[in-house]
A = this chain, B = another copy of it.
Amino acid sequence: MNVEAYLAERHAVVEAALARALAPDDGTPPRLLEAMRYAVFSGGKRVRPILALAACEAVPADPVRAVPFACAVELVHAYSLVHDDLPAMDDDELRRGRPTVHVVYGDALAILTGDALLTEAFRVAAAGARDVGIDAAQALDLVARLARAAGASGMVGGQVADLAAERAVADPALVESIHRRKTGALIAAAVEAGGVAGGATGARRAALAEYGAALGLAFQVADDILDVTAPTAVTGKKTGGDAQHGKATYPAVVGLDGARDVARDLLSRCLAAVGGLGPAAEPLRAIARFVVERAC
């Protein structure tokens, strides 16, 4: 399959859904909405929501059923970037080649913009699930799982561990533990939510969970590699920023070649996990290859 055409088509579906989620309403101050939209419509590749749609297709089911959770995951991702970039955190002034939210809107509004995006994520998931006909008990379970993936034992916990590990002596086990929480948990949640929204149970659901866990880690390993090797024009970030911040990364603990071996091994695990799902899972396979191969 043509993965770039697939990604472009699904990207358009996600953009439209996010635009509906962030439409003006009576109570939202216009400048807050503007900052939220600035954060969300910033040229992101939408890998997480597209994974949710692809997992739903792989079940197989109509991907429209995955749209609410796909949007919710992307809003969580967008909020995390706004807060990560703050001066008190990573202090980044550039993201995807544009000034970061706090540079444009100030620190106070950036904090509140992140808070609003995180909150809207749960509104979109809970309110949208009904609209696409997901069973309420299952949707409630997915809301709880999304919160677990995004919260203290998931993404936020990983971010805290990441900050604590800066300038410390890291080892591969610590880096994996940080990456699995900081990046992996939300990606795995996207895949799982997409599958469950599509009606996956039993072996299919387990296969998707295995794929999601391996891909979530692979995504961050690839990101670590690209941070070292890719120019700003490709990543929209400063080359070597992780090393400058003393971040715990795979290239730092196992070297570039070692990190590439880890990424390739994770790709094999992704492909093996969904090997039994037939042609409907081809988008999931293509996305895994796309994520890993641009770094290897």
Contacts and interface: CB of A to CB of B under 8 A. Distances in A.
A37 to B, nearest CB: 11
Interface of A: 25-29, 31-33, 36, 79-80, 83, 86, 88-89, 106-109, 111-112, 114-116, 118-120, 122-123, 126-127, 129-130, 135-137, 139-141, 143-144, 146-148, 150-154, 156-157, 159-161, 163-164, 181
Which 10 pairs show the lowest CB-CB distances between chains A and B?
A27-B153, A123-B147, A88-B107, A119-B151, A136-B136, A126-B144, A136-B137, A126-B143, A127-B144, A116-B152
B160 A109 contact: yes
A27 B116 contact: no
5 contacts: A31-B160, A88-B88, A126-B140, A130-B140, A136-B140
A141 B140 CA distance: 10
A156 to B, nearest CB: 4
Given A119-B152, A129-B140, 11 more contacts: A27-B152, A27-B154, A31-B164, A108-B163, A111-B111, A119-B147, A119-B156, A120-B147, A123-B148, A126-B143, A126-B144
